[in-house]
Amino acid sequence: MPSARPIILAAALACLAGCAAELPAQGVARGEVLFQNCTQCHGVDGGGSDLVAAPPIAGLPAWYVEVQLNNFQTGLRGAHADDVEGLKMRPMARTLKSAADAKVVAEYVAGLPAKKGAARVTGDVAKGQAAFATCGACHGTDGSGNEALKAPPLKQIPDWYVVKQLGKFKSGVRAYDPKDATGATMKGIASGITDEAAMRDLAAYIHTLPL
């Protein structure tokens, strides 16, 4: 079966071209129109899609979304040959042609109501809670994140995505570029997690944190 990536990208570019005349000049209204490209995977409400392994992004802080869009655009993220999802996200991020557009999309995403899906990962919550003490130093004891440390909130990130991203950090698929200083910190933390079972314990506990 041929890769779906060219089809997804072509559809995004077609939408961008078709919507160009309707684009507001600036502000969150412009971000809302540009966000139409993101809905193919992340949903019109930013709630994500299990079908294409796209995480929910609604309600994530604008600063974090903006940083990640920039990372995808520049190749700090999503350029590793084994990062299947990242390789799909990178060309999508590149449909945004300016830093200003990335910023207004991030602002629009931040304004969407955060949602918490059903648990999908089985793990030992008590063990995960004990291990989370390390994570809490940056991400907050309640998982609400810390902009000063460039640590995103974890409490709204789905458990399956936590496991997947920890695995990517641990294997070097994410934070592979030495210029990704924040990612390098996370890579070091993930390298200390013994195995996937421990990742699942962490994810199971994080899922219990209220929004």
Give tens-digit pLDDT for 44-100: 999 999 889 999 999 999 999 999 999 999 999 999 999 999 999 999 999 999 999
Task: State yes or no: pLDDT of 157 exceeds 80.
Answer: yes
What would the pLDDT profile of 103-134 be if each residue is shown by its tens digit? 999 999 999 999 888 999 999 999 999 999 99
43 is in which domain, residue-wise?
Answer: 5-110
163 found inside a domain: yes
Q: Residues 96, 140: one domain? A: no
Last residue of some domain: 81, 110, 139? Answer: 110
- d(CA 146, CA 143) in angstroms, rounded, equals 9
Decide which of 138 and 25 is more confident. Answer: 138
101 found inside a domain: yes
Contacts 24+ apart (CB under 8 A), 83-88: 83/168, 83/173, 83/174, 85/53, 85/54, 85/164, 86/173, 86/174, 87/5, 88/5, 88/8, 88/41, 88/52
Q: What local confidence, expressed as pLDDT, does residue 189 receive?
A: 96
Structural contact between residues 201 and 122, judged by C-beta atoms closer than 8 angstroms: no
**For the chain, what is the radius of gyration of the CA atoms?**
17
pLDDT bracket for residue 148 (50, 70, 90): very high
- d(CA 50, CA 120) in angstroms, rounded, equals 11
Q: What local confidence, expressed as pLDDT, does residue 22 receive?
A: 82
Mean pLDDT of the chain: 91
What would the pLDDT profile of 172-196 be if each residue is shown by its tens digit? 999 999 999 999 999 999 999 999 9
Q: What local confidence, expressed as pLDDT, does residue 11 receive?
A: 44
Which residues on adjacent β-strands are paired with residue 49?
Answer: 54
Q: What local confidence, expressed as pLDDT, does residue 194 receive?
A: 96
Q: Residues 21, 99: one domain? A: yes
Query: How many domains in the chain?
Result: 2
Q: Residues 103, 19: one domain? A: yes
Q: What local confidence, expressed as pLDDT, does residue 50 receive?
A: 85
What would the pLDDT profile of 2-41 be if each residue is shown by its tens digit? 444 444 444 444 444 444 448 888 899 999 999 999 999 9
How many Cβ atoms from other residues are within 10 Å of residue 9's Cβ?
Answer: 17
Last residue of some domain: 49, 76, 110? Answer: 110
We report the CATH number of the domain holding residue 67 as 1.10.760.10
